[in-house]
Structure 1
Amino acid sequence: MRESADERHDRLLELVREQGSARVSELAARLGVSPVTVRRDVETLAERGLLDRVHGSVSWPRSAAAAGGALPAPGGGGPVLGLLAPSATYYFAEVIRGAHEAAAQAGARLILRISDYRPEEDKARAEGLLAAGADGLLIAPGWQAAGDQAAYGDWMSELPVPAVLLERQPAPGSPLDDMDRVCSDHRHGVLLALRHLIRLGHGVPLLVARADSPTALAVRAGYDEALGALGLEQPRPVIDSVPAELDRVHFEEAVRAVQAAVTTGGVTAALVHNDVDAIHLVQRLAELGVRVPQDLALVAYDDEVAALADTPLTAVAPPKRQVGLYGTRMLVERLTAGPRSRTAEQQEQEPGQHLALLPRLHVRVSCGAEAVR
């Protein structure tokens, strides 16, 4: 199998870290690639703050500059933090931003790897972060299906450095359940949405949701729990949602199911995961004669782009930035204050932490209530 650019970058970084510095020609020979390829790799890594370039040579970074901002490089006294995320856009862009802010505040350096929601590559990406000098890891695995943790997650329980899980809740009793973690409490977020719609006088809200991410699965589980907590019965089965741009046929089936629920089933409210799907849904429903909020009060989940819809969408906003912020602070505490202030025995007895952060409900036009300003 042909070596990927990320794998080659990892080997290059490991060579430079071991030697302290190396010439481009030497690296090309060691890596078995052309000097042109190495120069291109070095330029990429230097732009991210992972290497320094000096007259045809490459060295481990010593300056205070770092990728994406003024974070100190190794040797500057602060730890190096590796962040593995499934994406650098949409939901996780804010998680990354929070981690970056907290790292800067702590005098740490943050380096990033993206798995593109391919959980089978999470381990290799994490190993790449360790090869790049990470002293601890922030990990948001690329899990999508319910079985992905069991299939692709065991390696995290054997990491040689401290690690904090972000926005992922492992199965109770599994080895990963012992790890530090910071997560949004999506069950609470769903409860906020349903309770708000009920208080506006609607019947039991319908759920329209994906099933292709841990957040989607948590929203579905939270829906069942919220109905129980509110003493309500599920009005009809959850309508499976899919991205309109990926599967137009099944998206249209979901739209038609919502239309039927409104026009013949008496449903007047719905919770939709996520924002983008909700916007597409509202647009298509309008073409079919179902108006939001006049015929259907709607709350979206994620609050990434909900406010930008033609009819601004009321939305549940998980505390994405704070997940990155608090998770990074937790990891820095493990890496810095702990070893210096506690004996090895005390560190062993220090309890792990599971921090759940509560989402907020941002009220706008789509639910038929006056927006909160």
Structure 2
Amino acid sequence: MRESAVQRHDRLLTLVREHGTARVTDLAARLGVSPVTVRRDVETLTRKGLVERAHGSVSWPRPRTGEAGAGGLGARPVLGLLAPSATYYFAEVIHGAHEAAARAGARLVLRISDYRPEGDRTRAEGLLAAGAEGLLIAPGWRDRADPAEHGGWLAGLPVPAVLLERTADPGGPLAALDRVCSDHAHGVLLALRHLAGQGHAAPVLVARADSPTALAVRTGYDEALRALGLERPHPVIDAPAGRDPEGFERGVQALWTAVTAGRVTAALVHNDVDAIQLVQRLAELGIRVPGELALVAYDDEVAALADTPLTAV
């Protein structure tokens, strides 16, 4: 399966971050795409404030004039942000943190984990070595075992820390940390309520299981079914699109079978990219969205850009 734009943006940002400045032609060669594609990607990332471009080159963003406090650059407090990715909704998180830090007269230092939780501690230590006096941390956890296996060090940080988009087990070593999370359970409830309001029986969930968000969506799905008095119409369908093309095709076939057998008329799909790919593949199999299947995408990042714009939360 071809690399998605989101995955390509991640690789582009990693290259720019590593080199500080890179030429568009060099990036195209490293990414294996045309310079036109790279320029289009750079325009998108520039609009989000994640890179700067000038004269055929791309640079990591520099602090804007006026961001420094009265005491100059050396007097500004430093905050560290560890994120698993610099694209998709984490692009908005990074951009928002950068702007909030600037308003507070602080400088934000960024490290990206690429969803490799075994390296989170080293990256956090790098932020501390860079002078970070507080940390915003979204660990690169992917499954339920990762917090216990790779997260214990968070409880011993020598500076204030806030978990981003991650939860902690009540009573566990990380429970004392402050945390800020999206309310995925409420988002799933909104999606199911929308579909039920259109006269559909309980929608099937098509979702990944390879990130904390995906796991939260799955938990929220069961909670939403109970809240709405609905029964699960079909087991959750796995959709590991980007990492397992064969597994994704199995998910497509499972959904196609459920729809053609009349067991399912609606679906909630996490995430947007998977939803777009799913709609395209179903069309090849003769299932039209929204004709034969009502579908809501979960994430609302790129759903509106599909051939048939998708409803999303």
Q: TM-score range by the shorter chain?
A: 0.7 to 0.9
Cα distance in structure 2, aligned partners of 1:287 and 1:118: 35
Counterpart amino acid of 1:189? G
Structure 2 equivalent of residue 121 of structure 1: 119
1:72 aligns with 2:68: yes
1:314 aligns with 2:311: yes
Structure 1 residue 68: deviation in Å? 5.0
Structure 2 equivalent of residue 233 of structure 1: 231
Q: Retained in 2: the 8 A contact 1:272–1:298?
A: yes
Structure 2 equivalent of residue 175 of structure 1: 173
Structure 2 equivalent of residue 131 of structure 1: 129
Please give the per-residue CA displacement for 1:248-268, whole angstroms capped at 9, x wherever unaligned.
Answer: 211111001111111103311
Please give the per-residue CA displacement for 1:265-289, whole angstroms capped at 9, x wherever unaligned.
Answer: 3311000000000000000000101
1:184-203 pair list within 5 angstroms: 184-203=182-201
1:159 aligns with 2:154: no
Cα distance in structure 1, aligned partners of 2:263 and 2:288: 14
One of 81, 86, 89 as aligned partner of 1:88: 86
Structure 2 equivalent of residue 144 of structure 1: 142
Cα distance in structure 2, aligned partners of 1:78 and 1:180: 23
Question: Highest Rg: 1 or 2?
Answer: 1
Structure 1 equivalent of residue 206 of structure 2: 208
Local SS of the residue matching 1:129: helix
| Count of equivalent residues | 255
Structure 1 residue 72: deviation in Å? 2.5
1:358-369 pair list within 5 angstroms: none
Structure 1 residue 315: deviation in Å? 0.8
Structure 1 residue 304: deviation in Å? 1.2
* Structure 1 residue ranges, 4+ long, deviating more than 4 angstroms after superposition: 41-45, 73-76
Q: Retained in 1: the 8 A contact 2:233–2:263?
A: no
CA 1:43/1:214 → structure 2, altered by over 3 Å: closer, same or farther?
closer
Structure 1 residue 132: deviation in Å? 0.3
Cα distance in structure 2, aligned partners of 1:241 and 1:68: 40
Pick 1 or 2: higher relative contact order, CA cutoff 8 A, min separation 6: 1
1:263 aligns with 2:256: no
Identity of aligned residues (%): 71
Q: Retained in 2: the 8 A contact 1:78–1:106?
A: no
Local SS of the residue matching 1:143: coil
CA 1:84/1:230 → structure 2, altered by over 3 Å: closer, same or farther?
same
Structure 1 residue 44: deviation in Å? 4.2
Cα distance in structure 1, aligned partners of 2:312 and 2:236: 19
Counterpart amino acid of 2:190? L
Q: Retained in 2: the 8 A contact 1:166–1:181?
A: yes
Counterpart amino acid of 1:286? A
Cα distance in structure 2, aligned partners of 1:228 and 1:106: 43
Structure 1 equivalent of residue 98 of structure 2: 100
Gap regions ≥5 residues in structure 1:
1-40, 46-65, 317-373
1:299 aligns with 2:293: no
One of 224, 247, 250 as aligned partner of 2:247: 250
CA 1:76/1:252 → structure 2, altered by over 3 Å: closer, same or farther?
same
Gap regions ≥5 residues in structure 2:
1-16, 22-60
Cα distance in structure 1, aligned partners of 2:63 and 2:261: 53
Local SS of the residue matching 1:184: coil
Cα distance in structure 2, aligned partners of 1:157 and 1:183: 18
Cα distance in structure 2, aligned partners of 1:193 and 1:114: 31
Structure 1 residue 303: deviation in Å? 1.1
Cα distance in structure 2, aligned partners of 1:165 and 1:300: 26
Local SS of the residue matching 2:175: helix
One of 285, 289, 300 as aligned partner of 2:286: 289
Structure 1 equivalent of residue 36 of structure 2: none
Structure 1 residue 246: deviation in Å? 3.2
Q: Considering only aligned residues, what root-mean-square deviation do their CA atoms show, in Å? A: 1.9
Cα distance in structure 2, aligned partners of 1:281 and 1:160: 45
Structure 1 residue 101: deviation in Å? 1.1
Cα distance in structure 2, aligned partners of 1:42 and 1:201: 51
CA 1:42/1:185 → structure 2, altered by over 3 Å: closer, same or farther?
closer
Q: Retained in 2: the 8 A contact 1:67–1:111?
A: no
Q: Retained in 2: the 8 A contact 1:119–1:143?
A: yes
Structure 1 residue 67: deviation in Å? 3.0
Structure 1 equivalent of residue 40 of structure 2: none
Structure 1 equivalent of residue 13 of structure 2: none
CA 1:315/1:42 → structure 2, altered by over 3 Å: closer, same or farther?
closer
Local SS of the residue matching 1:177: coil
Q: TM-score, normalised by structure 2?
A: 0.78
Local SS of the residue matching 1:187: helix
Structure 1 residue 42: deviation in Å? 11
Cα distance in structure 1, aligned partners of 2:235 and 2:145: 22
Q: Retained in 1: the 8 A contact 2:207–2:237?
A: yes
